[in-house]
Copies of this chain bind each other. A is one copy, B any other.
Amino acid sequence: MRKINLDEPICSVDYAFKRIGGKYKGRIIWYLNAHVVMRYGELRRAIRDITPKMLTQTLRELEDDKLITRKVYHEVPPKVEYSLTETGAELIPFIDHLRQWGDRQIEKEKLNPILC
Protein backbone atom coordinates (compact mmCIF):
# COMPACT_ATOMS: atom_id res chain seq x y z
CA MET A 1 0.00 0.00 0.00
CA ARG A 2 0.80 3.65 -0.26
CA LYS A 3 2.73 4.11 -3.37
CA ILE A 4 1.52 7.60 -4.11
CA ASN A 5 2.88 9.21 -7.23
CA LEU A 6 3.82 12.73 -6.22
CA ASP A 7 3.34 14.13 -9.70
CA GLU A 8 -0.02 12.69 -10.60
CA PRO A 9 -3.04 14.45 -9.24
CA ILE A 10 -5.00 12.40 -6.75
CA CYS A 11 -8.49 12.51 -5.35
CA SER A 12 -8.81 12.63 -1.60
CA VAL A 13 -10.94 9.50 -1.22
CA ASP A 14 -8.38 7.56 -3.17
CA TYR A 15 -5.53 9.08 -1.26
CA ALA A 16 -7.02 8.27 2.12
CA PHE A 17 -7.71 4.67 1.16
CA LYS A 18 -4.15 4.28 0.04
CA ARG A 19 -2.91 5.45 3.39
CA ILE A 20 -5.03 3.27 5.60
CA GLY A 21 -5.66 0.34 3.30
CA GLY A 22 -3.85 -2.91 3.90
CA LYS A 23 -4.86 -5.87 5.95
CA TYR A 24 -3.82 -4.71 9.40
CA LYS A 25 -3.57 -0.92 9.45
CA GLY A 26 -7.06 -0.27 10.72
CA ARG A 27 -6.66 -2.66 13.63
CA ILE A 28 -3.21 -1.36 14.57
CA ILE A 29 -4.46 2.21 14.68
CA TRP A 30 -7.48 1.13 16.65
CA TYR A 31 -5.45 -0.78 19.26
CA LEU A 32 -2.90 2.00 19.61
CA ASN A 33 -5.71 4.38 20.34
CA ALA A 34 -7.20 2.12 22.99
CA HIS A 35 -3.90 1.36 24.72
CA VAL A 36 -2.19 4.72 24.08
CA VAL A 37 1.20 3.07 23.82
CA MET A 38 2.07 -0.50 22.96
CA ARG A 39 5.22 -2.52 22.57
CA TYR A 40 5.99 -4.68 19.58
CA GLY A 41 5.23 -7.88 21.44
CA GLU A 42 1.96 -6.53 22.77
CA LEU A 43 0.80 -5.69 19.28
CA ARG A 44 1.82 -9.10 18.14
CA ARG A 45 -0.25 -10.78 20.82
CA ALA A 46 -3.19 -8.47 20.19
CA ILE A 47 -3.26 -9.23 16.48
CA ARG A 48 -2.98 -12.97 16.68
CA ASP A 49 -3.01 -13.71 13.01
CA ILE A 50 -0.13 -11.39 12.11
CA THR A 51 3.39 -12.58 11.33
CA PRO A 52 6.44 -10.62 12.50
CA LYS A 53 7.20 -9.71 8.93
CA MET A 54 3.81 -8.15 8.32
CA LEU A 55 3.76 -6.43 11.69
CA THR A 56 7.13 -4.82 11.12
CA GLN A 57 6.32 -3.91 7.55
CA THR A 58 2.97 -2.38 8.47
CA LEU A 59 4.45 -0.47 11.40
CA ARG A 60 7.14 0.94 9.11
CA GLU A 61 4.61 2.12 6.58
CA LEU A 62 2.52 3.76 9.25
CA GLU A 63 5.63 5.40 10.63
CA ASP A 64 6.79 6.67 7.23
CA ASP A 65 3.30 8.01 6.84
CA LYS A 66 3.56 9.80 10.17
CA LEU A 67 0.48 8.11 11.55
CA ILE A 68 2.41 6.48 14.38
CA THR A 69 5.68 7.13 16.19
CA ARG A 70 8.29 4.62 17.17
CA LYS A 71 10.31 5.08 20.32
CA VAL A 72 13.35 2.91 20.89
CA TYR A 73 14.81 2.35 24.34
CA HIS A 74 18.45 1.41 24.01
CA GLU A 75 18.59 -1.16 26.72
CA VAL A 76 18.92 -4.90 27.11
CA PRO A 77 16.53 -6.52 26.45
CA PRO A 78 15.43 -4.05 23.80
CA LYS A 79 12.19 -2.19 24.16
CA VAL A 80 10.27 -0.36 21.47
CA GLU A 81 7.07 1.54 21.97
CA TYR A 82 4.53 2.58 19.39
CA SER A 83 1.88 5.26 19.67
CA LEU A 84 -0.37 7.36 17.48
CA THR A 85 0.64 10.75 16.15
CA GLU A 86 -1.86 13.56 16.12
CA THR A 87 -2.58 12.92 12.46
CA GLY A 88 -3.08 9.25 13.20
CA ALA A 89 -5.43 10.04 16.05
CA GLU A 90 -7.58 12.10 13.71
CA LEU A 91 -8.54 8.83 12.04
CA ILE A 92 -10.10 7.39 15.16
CA PRO A 93 -13.62 8.80 14.73
CA PHE A 94 -13.72 7.39 11.26
CA ILE A 95 -12.45 3.96 12.25
CA ASP A 96 -14.93 3.95 15.08
CA HIS A 97 -17.74 4.77 12.69
CA LEU A 98 -16.60 1.98 10.43
CA ARG A 99 -16.36 -0.41 13.35
CA GLN A 100 -19.94 0.31 14.42
CA TRP A 101 -21.15 -0.20 10.89
CA GLY A 102 -19.21 -3.47 10.77
CA ASP A 103 -20.81 -4.58 14.03
CA ARG A 104 -24.28 -4.06 12.64
CA GLN A 105 -23.48 -5.98 9.48
CA ILE A 106 -21.94 -8.86 11.40
CA GLU A 107 -25.10 -9.09 13.45
CA LYS A 108 -27.27 -8.96 10.32
CA GLU A 109 -25.27 -11.70 8.68
CA LYS A 110 -25.20 -13.72 11.89
CA LEU A 111 -21.44 -14.06 11.75
CA ASN A 112 -19.18 -14.97 14.60
CA PRO A 113 -17.78 -11.73 16.06
CA ILE A 114 -14.71 -11.23 18.19
CA LEU A 115 -13.69 -8.11 20.01
CA CYS A 116 -11.32 -5.73 18.30
Contact pick for A112, options B8, B19, B112, CB 8 Å: B8
Distance of A20 from chain B, by nearest CB (Å): 8
Q: Which residue of B lies closest to A116 (CB)?
A: B11
A10 close to B94 (CB less than 8 A): no
Nearest CB on B from A62, distance (A): 14
Shortest beta-carbon distance, A14 to chain B, in Å? 6
Min CB distance A30 to B, Å, is 5
A95 in contact (CB, < 8 A): yes
What separation, in Å, do the CA atoms of A27 and B100 have in the docked complex?
21
Provide 21 A-B residue pairs closer than 8 Å at the C-beta atoms, listed in order of the A residue.
Answer: A4-B111, A9-B112, A9-B113, A9-B114, A10-B111, A10-B112, A12-B102, A12-B103, A13-B99, A14-B27, A15-B102, A15-B105, A16-B26, A16-B101, A16-B102, A16-B105, A17-B23, A20-B98, A87-B105, A94-B98, A97-B97
